[in-house]
Chain A
Amino acid sequence: MHDGYTYLDHAATTPMRADAVEAMLPFLSEQFANPSGSHRFARQVRKAIDEARDDVAEVIGCQPGEVIFTSGGTEADNTAIFGTLDRSGGLAVCPAVEHHAVLHAVEARHGCIVGVDATGRVDLEALASTLESATASVSVVSVMAVNNEVGTITDLAEVAAVVRRAAPDAVVHTDAVQAAAWLDLRTITPHVDLLSLSAHKFGGPKGVGVLVARGRSAFTPMLIGGGQERERRSGTHNVAGIIALTAALRATDSERLDENQRLVRLRDELVDGLQAALDDVHETVDRACKVAGSAHVCIDGIENEALLYLLDEAGVCASAASACASGAMEPSHVLAAMGVPHERARGALRLTLGRTTTLDDIERATTVIVEAVRRLRKGRAA
């Protein structure tokens, strides 16, 4: 992609697929019309959107009418929480490791936050007792399918079973933004009422996503106006974005099995290589619990801000926890909720692989990281 650079931050964004770029180009030039219009130019574009919706529904495992195109994962997550509460009242509940697009929305409405186990999975007993003892009726429970920082997969069938039993009136939402590249969404969708996706996590462009609204879900729209998306999300369609999202999702789905097999080997090689070359590199979550492309380690004796600088300088793009509005590293709320001590979390490093990752990348990244960690440890010891 960029010669001399190694990109291991696919969970932040993965490069756009060439087929997705190609698919969107006509809609940035000759196919310019507003799909809500009635003339032939508009109808052509409208047709493209309709076909895209069919394709997306097929990959997700839902009806086309249940697909709502949004401006991205955050809008989908916010709509699931705020929209449900505005419509049904009651409380929102989520685990402490959710993406901020869910967590901050639940906190903003004084919802309940549930603890997680050491792998980052929601504690099902705690979830059940929260639902049973809630002072108001719980209207939405949001549990992410795959954690964005540590890569842990949550079994939504188990979560849904607990919710159906303990809070039968609540809908289940899942932020599946980090799942789309790795898991077959058809295995997740049947268990939930609401599901969020973001195109740039699977080779589509930024600024476009999906909210799936099915089952018993009912929400008040966040955006009202022209009544697009069956009055559930007004605003002129991001046509090029939707077309590219669809192309990327289809291609990701058809390559998923092969890519999982290829990347799990590279990921294992990366983590094994770091642990073989360096002492005190702790793998945060057992690999059996994680998606293939996710490596997350805590390296003792270094601060990740300094490590990331050296990696960047050496051409390796990685990340730690999420960055705050200022761009400064924030202590990870995910690791804190998992019970990782603050001192250890300072050395947290997230390396996420994707479609463009090669064996060369892994070898190069291993060499660079090992060298940088040695240098920082030596500097601190001096």
Chain B
Amino acid sequence: MKVLVALSGGVDSSVAAAELIDAGHHVVGITMRLWGGESDTGCCSVADVDDARRVAQQLDIDHLVFNFTDDFQAHVVDPYVQAHRQGLTPNPCIECNRHLKFDRLSERADLLGFDAIATGHHARVEAVGDRYFVHRGADPAKDQSYVVHMLPQRELRRTIFPVGHLTKAEVRERAAVLGLRTAAKPDSQDVCFITQTGGRETFLGARIPFRRGTVVDAAGVVLGEVPAIEMVTLGQRRGIGLPGGGPKRYVTGIDQATSTVFVGDEADLDVAELTVGDVVWADEPSSGEVMVQCSAHGVAIPAVLQHDIVRWHSPQRRVAPGQSVVFFDPTNRYVLGGGIAR
């Protein structure tokens, strides 16, 4: 097959390309240039593109760079900023996978005559009957099925995750054996378009006006103030302008209209159900018993799914609106679908 592999400049995609070559495919590596602004982390720096290109040279495959900065701005950065403005807690990496890696890149791969696209995600695409589903990666600590949950059948049919059957240690070992320069490169962390030095606050502060928020308890007693309600996340405990030493207080609600942050006990965060919007399915819509995962490295929890409502078997901590909620099959092995917490 002719396979387009997305090379980020990291070790996982490097080994993914090597695995595809071993399997006898005609492999072309591409690196997406996504973020045009300042960056000191993540996968958009020139140094990372250099690493990707050098790995491609070592593996003797062609390497191209596609400039998707406009799409990234429109589908990832702008919505990220708007979501914060609305008091949501977005997950930009998932939107990037949805709109860039498995939409824009996939469209490009079609146009250019590739049979399949591959990435270095720790997940596996396997058939269940005559349908394909994203299965969890072999390394439980590195499993990324959550962040690629949005793939429909037409994408799943031609998506390959060549390192999904390996543990991270095995990936690094293979890279070392092949002498790849990325073998010992640290994993990318955090959001690629937000600098470590400036952080989320600097990034958002340059793009939206921050509003002060009043912090009150359940009885309506004013306890303090936060400088930017846009920076507050449901469940947050630190940095909400309360003096130390008192009882542990958590953000239990945010009212944008009145710029109010409600705080309470940890138990106040527990809810019996969760509403999910914008749900996409790998195949047909599911209902009934499912396993539900609400963060990239969170533990899946059993629940009953009825339409867009997740009913927990026992009360669970509220999920910050804007976070992705992913449904796995009752055995917790593969993705059925997912959406966004309301």
Residues of A within 8 Å of B49, CB to CB, are: 325-328
Stretch of B64-72, B122-130, B257-265 at the chain-chain interface: B64-72
Query: Separation in Å of the B130 CB from the closest CB of chain A?
Result: 25
How close is B55's CB to chain A, nearest CB, in angstroms? 14
> Contact between A310 and B46 (Cβ–Cβ < 8 Å)?
no
How far does the alpha carbon of A313 sit from the alpha carbon of B2 in the complex, in Å?
A: 13
For residues 292 through 334 of chain A, which have their beta carbon under 8 Å from a beta carbon of chain B? 305-306, 309-310, 313, 323-330
**Contacts A327-B53, A328-B33 given; does A306 touch B108 at CB 8 Å:** yes
Q: Which of A336-382 contact B (CB under 8 A)?
A: 375-376, 379-380
Within residues 226 to 252 of chain A, which ones have a CB less than 8 A from any CB in chain B?
none
Cα A343 to Cα B109 with chains together (Å): 21
A326 contact from B31, B110, B111, Cβ within 8 A: B31
Chain B residue at minimum C-beta to C-beta distance from A309: B112
Complex Cα distance, B67 from A133, in Å, reads 39
**Cα distance A329–B64 when bound, in Å?**
10
Q: Which residues of B contact A324 (CB under 8 A)?
A: 33, 67
CB pair B110–A325 under 8 Å, yes or no, is: no
On chain A, the residues within 8 Å of B65 by CB distance are 323, 326-329
Chain B residues near A329: list those with CB within 8 A: 65-67
Whole-angstrom distance between the alpha carbons of A156 and B69 in the complex? Answer: 37
Query: Contacts A327-B53, A328-B33 given: A306-B67 contact, CB under 8 Å?
Result: no
Q: Is the CB of B67 within 8 A of A305?
A: yes
Q: Judging by beta carbons under 8 Å apart, are B64 and A309 in contact?
A: yes
Q: Residues of A within 8 Å of B, CB-based: how many?
A: 17
Contacts of A325 in B (CB 8 A): 46, 49
Say which size band chain B's interface belongs to. Answer: 10 to 19
The residue in chain A whose Cβ has the minimal distance to the Cβ of B63 is A327
Q: Which residue of A lies closest to B111 (CB)?
A: A379
Cβ-defined contact, B111 with A328, below 8 A: no
Q: In the bound complex, do residue B66 and residue A305 qualify as a contact, i.e. CB atoms below 8 Å apart?
A: yes
**Residues of A close to B110: CB separation below 8 A:** 379
User: A326 — which chain B residues lie within 8 A by C-beta?
Assistant: 31, 33, 46, 49, 65
Closest to A325 in B: B46
In the bound complex, CA of A376 to CA of B112 (Å): 8
Which residues from A are CB-within-8-Å of B67?
305, 324, 328-330
Nearest CB on A from B302, distance (A):
42
| C-alpha gap A132/B111 in the complex (Å) | 52
Which residue of chain A has the shortest Cβ distance to B30 in the bound complex? Answer: A309
Instruction: With A305-B66, A309-B64 as known contacts, state yes or no: A376 contacts B33, CB within 8 Å.
Output: no
What residues of chain B lie closer than 8 Å to A305, measured between beta carbons?
64, 66-67, 108
Q: Which of A323, A327, A330, A376 contacts B111 (CB 8 A)?
A: A376
Chain A residue with the shortest CB-CB distance to B66: A305
A323–B31 CA distance with the chains assembled, in angstroms: 14
Closest chain A residue to B64, Cβ basis: A309
Which one of B66, B108, B112 lies within 8 Å of A328 (CB-CB)?
A: B66
Q: Which residues of the other chain, B, contact A309 by a CB distance below 8 angstroms?
A: 64, 112
Please report the C-alpha to C-alpha distance between residue A310 and residue B111 in the assembled complex, in whole angstroms: 9
Q: Cα distance A27–B196 when bound, in Å? A: 50
- Chain A residues positioned under 8 Å from B66 (CB to CB): 305, 328-329
Give A residues with C-beta under 8 Å from B.
305-306, 309-310, 313, 323-330, 375-376, 379-380
Instruction: List the 10 closest pairs (A to B, CB-CB), nearest first.
Output: A328-B33, A328-B67, A327-B65, A326-B49, A328-B65, A379-B111, A325-B46, A329-B67, A326-B46, A306-B111
**Which B residues are within 8 Å of any A CB, using their own CB?**
31, 33, 46, 49, 53, 64-67, 69, 108, 110-113
Q: List 23 A-B contacts (CB under 8 A).
A: A305-B64, A305-B67, A306-B111, A309-B112, A310-B113, A313-B112, A323-B65, A325-B49, A326-B31, A326-B65, A327-B53, A327-B64, A327-B65, A328-B33, A328-B49, A328-B66, A328-B67, A329-B65, A329-B67, A330-B67, A375-B111, A376-B111, A379-B110
